[in-house]
A and B are shown apart, each in its own frame.
Chain A
Amino acid sequence: MSYSLDFSVVVARLPELLLACLATIGLSLAGMSLATVIGVLGVIARRSRFRLLRGLVIGFVELIRNTPFLVQIFFIFFALPQLGLRLNPTVTAIIALGLNGGAYAIEIIRGGVDAIPKGQVEAGLALGLHRAQIFRHIILKPALRTVYPSLTSQFVMLTLTTSVCTSIAAYELTSVAQKIEADTFRSFEVYFSITILYLIISSLMMGIFALISRFSFNYPVK
C-alpha cells in the first residue's frame, strides 16, 4: 500500500471539527425536542375522539416511516420553496429531523401508553379527573419510563441521521469533514476521525439519557 497516513491535516483543523461536533449535537438536541413534542402530541391526537385527527396522525406516521429521510429533507428544502416557503438549511434540518423522529416517537410512546394498566385510568376517573388530566398526570410519565430504552435508541439514530443533512449543506460534522477532505484529499484520515467523533457523540448522548433517566424515573417499581 503506497498510501501513507498523515493525521497532521486533521490535527490542524481540529478546532473546525470540534465546532462542527457542537453543531451536530445542537441539531440533534433540537431535533429530539421537536420529535418528543410531536411524539406526545401525536399520541394524544391518535387517541382523540375525532376520527379525522386520528386518521391524520396515522397517515403522517405511515408517510414518514415509508419514505427515505433524504427525500423528506429534499422535499422540505427544495420543493417547499416552490410553494413560497423558503427555510435555511439549519431550520430545514431541525424540522426534518423532528418530523422524522416524531413519527417514530409516536409509535414508540403509543406502545408505552397502551401498556399502562386500565386500573390507573379508572382510578383517575373515579377521583373525578378528566381524560386530559389523566393523560398528563397519570399515564405520561410511567408510559415514557416503559419505552425509554426504545425512545432513546431512536434518538441516537436521530443523532447519527444529522449527517444526512450534509445533502442540503447544513452546518454539521459531516459537511465540515467533506470540506476538509476536498481541501486536503486526506479521505481516510478525515472520515476515520469523524467516525471516532460520531462514536464519542453517541456515547455522550447515551450518557445524557442515562442521567435524565436517573433523575426523572427514579421512583421504585416492583
Chain B
Amino acid sequence: MPQSAAAQVPLIALEGVGKWYGAYHALKNINLTVKKGEKIVLCGPSGSGKSTLIRCINHLEETQEGNITVEGTTLSDSSRSIDAVRREVGMVFQSFNLFPHKTIMENCTLAPMRVKGVSKAEAEATARKYLERVRILDQADKYPAQLSGGQQQRAAIARALCMEPKAMLFDEPTSALDPEMVKEVLDTMIGLARDGMTMICVTHEMGFARQVADRVVFMASGEIIEEGPPETFFSNPQHQRTRTFLGEILAHH
C-alpha cells in the first residue's frame, strides 16, 4: 500500500459503539476515527463517558454495541484480538499505576520482556532511551514512591512507550498532580505529539488542547456532542452544552 493511502486508513475507528453499566447507558452511538499521527483531545463534564470511551479502545471496558478497530484488528471477545490491540496501544492513567515493588527500570522492562519476549539487555536499552526522552533516566534505579508525582507520571509514560505502541491513550494524566508538576507532564506529552505519536487525551487542560490537538471532541451524557479543530471549537462552539462547559472550565484559567 502506498504511503499516502496508508495515511488515510484510520488507525483507530469506533463505529456505533454503545455501552451499558446495567441499566445505565454510559456510551451512546459513538463514532470516532483517528488517523495515524492525529492528536485528539476528549473533554466534557465528569460522568460524560470520556474515560469510559478510551478504556473501551484497549478493552479495559467491554462494549455491547458497535465495532472498535485498531490498526486493522476489530476487537471481539477473543483474547487474540484483545492482545493484538493492546500491543498497539499504550495507556497512561490518572493515578500513574506504577508497580510499587519494582524500580522505574523494572517497571519499564517488565512488559517488553514478558509480552514481546525481548532480552533483558534489549529491554533495558529501550527503557533507557525512553526514560531519557521523558528526562528521568537518573531516577531509573529508584522505586516509584521515591519520585515526585510529576516524575512518576513521566515514568508511566516511558513505561507505555517501551512497548513501542502506535497510539497512546491518556486518561486525565495531570488530574492527580500538584499544580507545579502539571507542566512537566504536559511538556512531555507535547514533545510526544511533536514526534508524531497518535494520541487520544482525556484532559481538562485546554491550553494543551489549543497547542497540540488536531481535533477537540466534546462529550456529555455518553454522547459526542461536537468536535472540531481547536480554533473553531473554542471560538465558535455550536452547541449550548459546549458553551456552558467551556464557560465553566475557562473561567478557572
Contact = CB atoms under 8 A, between A and B. Distances in A.
A125 B87 CA distance: 10
Interface in B142-183: 143, 145-146, 156, 159-160, 163
A219 to B, nearest CB: 5
B93 A141 contact: no
Interface in A101-144: 117, 119-120, 122-129, 133, 137-138, 141-142
Nearest to B113: A137
B54 to A, nearest CB: 11
Contacts of B146: 220
A150 B46 CA distance: 40
A221 B102 CA distance: 11
A141 B100 CA distance: 10
A217 to B, nearest CB: 8
A129 B97 contact: no
A126 B87 CA distance: 8
Nearest to A122: B60
B86 A127 contact: yes
A222 interface: yes
Given A125-B60, A128-B87, A220-B146, A133 B100 contact: no
A43 B78 CA distance: 25
Contacts of A133: 114
A54 interface: no
B110 interface: yes
Which range holds the interface residue count of chain A?
20 to 34
Top-4 shortest CB links A-B:
A123-B97, A127-B111, A126-B91, A119-B97
A219 B90 contact: no
A119 B114 contact: no
A217 B60 CA distance: 30
A145 interface: yes
Interface in A136-180: 137-138, 141-142, 145
Contacts of B86: 125-128
A127 B143 contact: no
A137 B97 contact: no
B83 interface: yes
17 contacts: A119-B97, A123-B98, A125-B58, A125-B86, A126-B93, A127-B110, A127-B115, A128-B86, A129-B111, A129-B115, A137-B114, A138-B110, A142-B100, A217-B101, A219-B101, A220-B143, A220-B146
Q: Which of B59, B97, B98, B102 has the most A CB atoms < 10 Å from its CB?
A: B97
